[in-house]
Structure 1
């Protein structure tokens, strides 16, 4: 449905101009100085092993991407939460997952893969409890979910956990000073053959576990991602939606969960040639490869690099619709979704000379797009060895 709408929007770009913000400079087609009011960024901030850059652009009527960076004297946390069906799940994750991580890390005296998994599980349980309490007055909350990408740097080790198709890519310096992009996460998306095979092996008695619909592989003909927080109607029979919601209607009740909230987790001891990590929602990777993104980060100055990556993706999105970015950035939210998704980009730079050193780092909590900044709870981990 969305691809058909996108084609319609592309074919009707001139009529769509009546939806855009017009100003006195709008007639100047060459004016690239006009800002993009749907784009937010923090150009460069400090974290425990270097600096980070952060940018978000909105496409949906209500932004469904939520994100955060938490900095402390000995740790850094990044969260990118790409919601679908609405913003409730991604907002809930942004409010709760990091707090669960800090609590469980404090109880265990460390950060580990198991701590990350338990933080994801606690977040899933909490959101499903919220669904149970509110589905009587808002049944569609059972169809709201979110991808979830998390990274934590702790004592020189990077921990990454992922549900869905957001992606973490590390840039490392190879031979002849060439940057090498390595994807740290798996894409849990039915467009990938290995994901379809995984689903079929889990559901051997269900011939419709993955279905090609409008040229796109979808799980039960509905959703592309195979792992998420939320999407309760695809996990527990008690949350199944009645036929009055045809988009989410299943021909028969599920006998076991169709989706899972079990993250893929990886650990990497940071090496001297590891230079940066890009965390981004799938809206970025739809328009550029891992290597293209890594080369942009390596080639250009650090300040504003997340915004530069984001704008590079938006330029590609505009060209696909035979537009320029100067035209695209005038399009209102909602209509903008015909051209690109909400996109979140966080670039974490790794300065190895800071490893093991005590430096002054603001203990800061930054929420993407909402531009809220406060004190991070990472300070409670100060005493952990």
Structure 2
């Protein structure tokens, strides 16, 4: 969103970071309909562990870098019967797993509250606020000002980042999370995202084959617009000699922390230097050829192409196993393509747009799994004592072989600024100063 990409209250200087820890009061602003969800496990049709819902398949698998820092959610009947919220969140840094879970649990509530507050519920259905064209141009100020949906995503993300910054028990100085979130209402698909978790749309062609349309842009520091913003804010953007294919974000005064993305929640050590949390927003009107949407963390996209993922989902014998099949395919590719690298965590949500799952399976087969959100508060101290500091050996494709250059260029032309990824190098964490004598920038 052009004129709101960088605001003063989104920035925080390391010198005053310790003084800003106070409990966020945003939850008090939630509507009465949201406040009743004190126990998230009691919410009907909300799935965030391995299994399935009425219209989706959900699965995550830990990689070989430590605790699983990925989280995902499917929330059906979100505010109305024809509305579904989906999200995938990829944490990074020593407490990234806690950040990802916090975002998973709180961001949907913030979005719900904002939509209700703006009076976007009419006769039990969410108002369709965007016009009928396939893409809402972020450079079009008229569309931006008239889109309640885009404004709701923007404010929800901003509020989420503010809550993380002021959380008294969650250290987000060097930790953060990406987010790819989708809200489907009728034939409308609204997407808000930061970082490099990705969403694709699988559509059936006239000849019966499946095509993949990328719904989001991998927001990394090597994108021209992202690099420009970071450099203007005195941050540095470059790749290390031992991994020239991975562009990272660095502090202006030290070779730390080395973030491999340009946007995400948290990571307040870089919020004065071009790393912010404003989401990209995208709207698409679905048609009868569109069959499913896949959301996944970069552990999947590092080794599988959009077309490969779409074909896997389209060919699974049982829809309920679609997400697991994608993750298992990614795991095999990691072993084949990068046998000396540690496999990244993978999280996948497959949303089938016709709202149907396998007819021979019962809804009560949803895996009980480990729904971390319900026990997060009581287990937080134990989790914090075992941070994951392994280096993130993120795989990057060369630009000349990038089959998604068109959608990447769409982001490069965008005038909006937002940003961040995660701390990925152990040596950077050791070097990173907790506080700085440098005064806050104005």
TM-score of the aligned structures, taking structure 2 as reference length:
0.58
2:301 to 274, 285, 298: 285
- Partner of residue 53, structure 2: 45
- Partner of residue 70, structure 2: 65
CA distance in 2, matches of 1:368, 1:83: 22
Give the structure with the larger strand fraction: 1
Does the residue aligned with 2:67 lie in a helix, a strand or coil? coil
Using the TM superposition, give the Cα deviation of residue 165 of structure 1 relative to its aligned residue in structure 2, in angstroms: 0.2
CA distance in 1, matches of 2:157, 2:190: 13
Using the TM superposition, give the Cα deviation of residue 373 of structure 1 relative to its aligned residue in structure 2, in angstroms: 9.8
- Partner of residue 358, structure 1: none
Using the TM superposition, give the Cα deviation of residue 233 of structure 1 relative to its aligned residue in structure 2, in angstroms: 0.9
Q: Does structure 1 residue 314 correspond to structure 2 residue 331?
A: yes
Does the residue aligned with 1:260 lie in a helix, a strand or coil? coil
User: Where do 5+ consecutive residues of structure 2 fail to align?
Assistant: 1-48, 121-125, 127-148, 358-362, 375-442
User: Could you tell me whether the CA contact under 8 Å between 2:203 and 2:291 is conserved in 1?
Assistant: yes
Change (3 A) 1:353 1:320: closer
- Partner of residue 349, structure 2: 346
1:108 to 98, 101, 118: 118
User: Could you tell me whether the CA contact under 8 Å between 1:211 and 1:219 is conserved in 2?
Assistant: yes
CA distance in 1, matches of 2:274, 2:373: 37
Q: How does 1:100-179 map to 2 (within 5 A)?
A: 100-110=110-120, 112-130=149-167, 133-134=168-169, 141-179=172-210
CA distance in 1, matches of 2:248, 2:230: 16
CA distance in 2, matches of 1:304, 1:52: 10
User: Could you tell me whether the CA contact under 8 Å between 2:189 and 2:286 is conserved in 1?
Assistant: yes
User: Could you tell me whether the CA contact under 8 Å between 2:201 and 2:290 is conserved in 1?
Assistant: yes
The higher radius of gyration belongs to 1
Using the TM superposition, give the Cα deviation of residue 203 of structure 1 relative to its aligned residue in structure 2, in angstroms: 2.7
- Partner of residue 129, structure 2: none
User: Could you tell me whether the CA contact under 8 Å between 1:79 and 1:148 is conserved in 2?
Assistant: yes
User: Could you tell me whether the CA contact under 8 Å between 2:232 and 2:274 is conserved in 1?
Assistant: no
Using the TM superposition, give the Cα deviation of residue 67 of structure 1 relative to its aligned residue in structure 2, in angstroms: 1.4
TM-score of the aligned structures, taking structure 1 as reference length:
0.66
Using the TM superposition, give the Cα deviation of residue 265 of structure 1 relative to its aligned residue in structure 2, in angstroms: 0.8
CA distance in 2, matches of 1:166, 1:56: 13
Change (3 A) 1:155 1:367: farther
Give aligned pairs, total: 278
Q: How does 1:1-385 map to 2 (within 5 A)?
A: 41-42=50-51, 44-46=52-54, 51-59=55-63, 60-72=65-77, 73-85=81-93, 86=95, 87-110=97-120, 112-130=149-167, 133-134=168-169, 141-190=172-221, 192=222, 195-201=223-229, 203-204=231-232, 206=234, 209-213=236-240, 214=242, 215=244, 216-220=246-250, 222-235=258-271, 256-301=272-317, 302-321=319-338, 338-351=341-354, 370-371=370-371
Does the residue aligned with 2:248 lie in a helix, a strand or coil? strand
CA distance in 2, matches of 1:368, 1:99: 23
- Partner of residue 5, structure 1: none
CA distance in 1, matches of 2:191, 2:88: 11
RMSD: 2.8
